[in-house]
Amino acid sequence: MAIESTNTFPITGTTALVTGANRGIGRAIVDALLARGAAKVYATARNVDSLKELVATSGGRVVPLQLDVTNPEQIKAAATAAGDVRLLINNAGIVRKFGGDFADPQWIAASRDEFETNVVGVLAVTQAFTPALTRRPGSAIVNLASVVSLVNFPMVTTYSVSKAATHSLTQATRAQLAPQQVYVAGVYPGPIDTDMARDLPLEKTSPEATANAILDGIEARREEIFPDPYSQQLGALYQRDPKAVEAQYAAPPVAA
């Protein structure tokens, strides 16, 4: 099989899989993929009934799959069913706790749940799909990290920790799969207008605008994608002066 140009990743005609596709950024990514001519999109969710509307309006191009990224059997079944994937988008993620004193014991339980989904789940799904992706040189893996991967926001202390690990995992995946011609990107959004970010007292970008910016970054094969104005500002400052980012953004936590 010929290796495609490393300068771009064409969305048109590709087969993608998006985890957590039933709402928020995941749903918007599926819609954007379809609008840009993806041939097939596997849309996954814990509850496949939540994907019915998406499937019904897709013209047969969306294939629903049940997938809890913390469930090994469901991961294995998804990888078997979607063996033709060329673009894997690890979008599924959770945040369990907003605000509270650092000594609050609830941070411990939150961290376990967040790490299991946001890090172990991404690793497990990526491992399961690696054979299919490496059979197709020029394939891609895209991990939804966050601006809190770069600097901890104490309001979401443990979520920030888990997303920092997602960032590190993205770097490891890129290094491990580079010899097999797999392109690996990290996405670092700021506040997006989704259910997850409902409690954040910040100006938010729409999921639709975010999804299109993510696909722009994928098509350009950028390894770090900052898909909204907030993340672009933070990312630019981080490149110049990481300690300044810490001083500016790591504000004291907001009490629950």
Residue 44 to residue 112: CA distance in whole angstroms? 23
Q: Which residues of the chain carry a pLDDT beneath 50?
A: 1-5, 253-256
Is the distance from CB of 78 to CB of 54 less than 8 angstroms? no
pLDDT recorded at residue 53: 94
pLDDT digits (tens, 9 = 90+) for 182-216: 999 999 999 887 666 565 566 778 999 999 999 99
Q: Which CATH superfamily is 15-249 part of? A: NAD(P)-binding Rossmann-like Domain (3.40.50.720)
Q: Which residue, 157, 230, 148, is CA-closest to 186?
A: 148
Distances 161 to 187, 199, 244 between C-alpha atoms, Å: 16, 19, 19
Residues annotated as catalytic (active site), given as ranges: 159
Q: Which residue, 130, 99, 101, is CA-closest to 199?
A: 99
Is the distance from CB of 194 to CB of 149 less than 8 angstroms? no
pLDDT recorded at residue 255: 40
The torsion angles phi and psi of 153, rounded to 5 degrees, stand at -95, 110
pLDDT recorded at residue 254: 46
